[in-house]
Structure 1
Amino acid sequence: MQLHDVWFVLIAVLWIGYFFLEGFDFGVGILTKLLARDRPERRVLINTIGPVWDGNEVWLLTAGGATFAAFPEWYATLFSGFYLPLLIILVCLIVRGVAFEYRAKRPEENWQRNWETAIFWTSLIPAFLWGVAFGNIVRGVKIDQHFEYVGNLWDLLNPFALLGGLVTLSLFTFHGAVFTALKTLGDIRERARKLALRVGLVTAVLALLFLGWAQIDQGDGKSLVAMVVAVGALVAALVANRAGREGWSFALSGVTIVAAVAMLFLTLFPNVMPSTLDADWSLTVTNASSSPYTLKIMTWCAGIATPIVLLYQGWTYWVFRKRIGTQHIAADAAAGAVH
């Protein structure tokens, strides 16, 4: 295996890690409107991800940076062709971060309600658009002989990509509901389990359609195995959730995300961005990669830094592992006082 193949795998791992972690992060943000009944419950939901949401986004920054350094042609074509959707995602992530930090800075109800609404929409929109983006990457887009995207925004809104958006939106919401059941106490925990069951059933149908479509179009034996694992893990997560085994349900929903994203990358390889105009104009791990020397230096840096980052993030989750409920929300915080 050559270094450009190794870095394709590493970038796939980074995206898998991002969707696994930011997936429940987005899901909890969506649940602030779908699950929480009052301000204390919304505060509980926000507190479940409060210590970790910014660390989860580091995976996105690393994936983007690794793509820029390892596959500059892929980065250039992707970010120029998908400029508007990616800009919307970026704006959402910025506003979302501000909302988390500023929501409790003032006690007025309108102030807090507006920031909570911002958290909801800036969680929902990226959850949908990431699926649209990856659906187009896997399906292929209009790339010419100069490796430039020559389509328009409407070309990106095709049925396969839109279905991909619905899959990521529903899957992240399910992942977030299972995480909420794992991290909370009392009535909100029970309602999160019931909501996870309903959302999970919808997700299973959508995921089967989307992954099956991708498998029929571009899949092989390896991608078929990944698809079976993804669908099987999702069904098992639903069973575990119904049995009240939140830990197993969350782990299995995570396996679903890991296997589903792995399948998409397996169907993609050795391309990184197929051309629908001419297969010879597709970006591949070979023609889109940096020099071997650059990839070698990156490999050494990644080998040293990655274990440190993983240990630190794992420690963060361990420290904030306990369940919380409305009884843990101070009266002044529940009422909206500055804290």
Structure 2
Amino acid sequence: MELHDVWFVLIAVLWIGYFFLEGFDFGVGILTRLLARDRTERRVLINTIGPVWDGNEVWLITAGGATFAAFPEWYATLFSGFYLPLLVILLCLIVRGVAFEYRAKRPGESWQRNWETAIFWTSLLPAFLWGVVFGNIVRGVKIDRHFEYAGGIGDLLNPYALLGGLVTLALFTFHGTVFTVLKTVGDIRERARGLALVLGVVTAVLASAFLLWTQAAHGDDTSLVALIVAVLALLAALAANRAGRDGRAFALSGLTVVAAVAMLFLTLFPEVMPSLLNADWSLTVTNASSTPYTLKIMTWCAGIATPIILLYQSWTYWVFRKRIGTQHIAPDTAH
């Protein structure tokens, strides 16, 4: 296997890790309006991800940096052609981070309510837009002979990509709901369990339609295996949630995310951005990659840094592993 193939796999792993972690992160943010009944319950939900949300975004930064260094042509075409949706995502992530940090800086009701509203919308929009972005990457876009995007914003709003956006929105919300069941106690936990059943059914319908469409248009035997794993894992997560096996339900919802994203990358390879204008103008792991020397240096750096990051993030999740409920929210921080 060539180094550019290795780095395609590594970038796929980084995106899978990002969507696994930030997926439930976004889902919990959406639940602050979908599940929480009052400000105290919203505080409970925010506290479940408070210690980890910023660490989850490290995966996005790493994935973007790795794409820039390993596949500069892919990075350039992607960020120029998808400028508007990626800019909206970036702005949402900035506002979302500020909202987490500033919400509790003042006790005023309107102050906290406005930041909580910001958390909801800046969780919902990226959850939807990431599906639109990756739907277009898999489907292909208008790339000319110079490997430049030749379409407009309207070309990105096609039925396949919009369905992809609905899938990621539903899947991340379901993933976040299962995470809430795992991390909370009391009435909010029981309501989250019931909501997870409803969201799981909706997600199963949307995801099955999108993944079958993807398989029919771009898939092969390996992507078919990933599709089957994703669907079975989602159904098993629903069963585990109903049976009260919270840890197993979360692991299975995470496996659904992993298998679904893996399927998208499996349908891409060896291309990284197919061209709808001419197949010869598509970006591939070969014509979009950096030099072998650059990839070699990157491999050594990644081999040293990645285990350290994984150990630190695992330690963070272990430290903040306990469940919380409304009884853990002090009166002076609930208002």
Report the TM-score range of the alignment, normalised by the length of the smaller protein.
over 0.9
- CA shift digits 1:18-50 (9 cap, x unpaired): 000000000000000000001110000000000
- CA shift digits 1:296-325 (9 cap, x unpaired): 000000000000000000000000000000
Match of 2:79 in 1: 79
Match of 1:238 in 2: 238
Match of 1:177 in 2: 177
Q: What TM-score comes out, normalization by structure 1 length?
A: 0.99
Match of 2:32 in 1: 32
Q: Distance in 1 between matches of 2:141 and 2:231?
A: 27
Match of 2:279 in 1: 279
Match of 1:127 in 2: 127
Q: Distance in 2 between matches of 1:227 and 1:172?
A: 17
**Unaligned 5+ runs, structure 2:** none
Q: Where in structure 2 are the equivalents of 1:217-296 lying within 5 Å? A: 217-296=217-296
Match of 1:311 in 2: 311
Shift of 1:154: 0.4
**Unaligned 5+ runs, structure 1:** none
Letter in structure 1 aligned against 2:137:
I
Match of 2:201 in 1: 201
Shift of 1:121: 0.1
Q: Secondary structure at the match of 2:105?
A: coil
CA RMSD of the aligned region, Å?
0.3
Give the number of equivalent residue pairs: 335
- CA shift digits 1:98-132 (9 cap, x unpaired): 00000011111000000000000000000000000
Match of 1:7 in 2: 7
Q: Secondary structure at the match of 2:20?
A: helix
Q: What TM-score comes out, normalization by structure 2 length?
A: 1.00
Shift of 1:285: 0.1
Letter in structure 2 aligned against 1:291:
T
Shift of 1:334: 1.1
Q: Secondary structure at the match of 1:45?
A: helix
Q: Distance in 2 between matches of 1:15 and 1:102?
A: 28
Q: Distance in 2 between matches of 1:209 and 1:331?
A: 46
Q: Secondary structure at the match of 1:182?
A: helix
- Kindly indicate whether residue 330 of structure 2 is the aligned counterpart of residue 330 of structure 1: yes
Q: Distance in 2 between matches of 1:246 and 1:27?
A: 16
Q: What fraction of aligned residue pairs are identical, expressed as a percent?
A: 84
- Kindly indicate whether residue 150 of structure 2 is the aligned counterpart of residue 157 of structure 1: no
Q: Distance in 2 between matches of 1:185 and 1:224?
A: 38
Match of 1:321 in 2: 321
Q: Secondary structure at the match of 2:272?
A: strand
Q: Distance in 2 between matches of 1:234 and 1:293?
A: 42
- Kindly indicate whether residue 60 of structure 2 is the aligned counterpart of residue 70 of structure 1: no
Letter in structure 2 aligned against 1:228:
I
Runs of 4+ in 1 over 3 A off after TM superposition: none
Q: Secondary structure at the match of 2:315?
A: helix
Letter in structure 2 aligned against 1:10:
L
- CA shift digits 1:61-93 (9 cap, x unpaired): 000000000000000000000000000000000
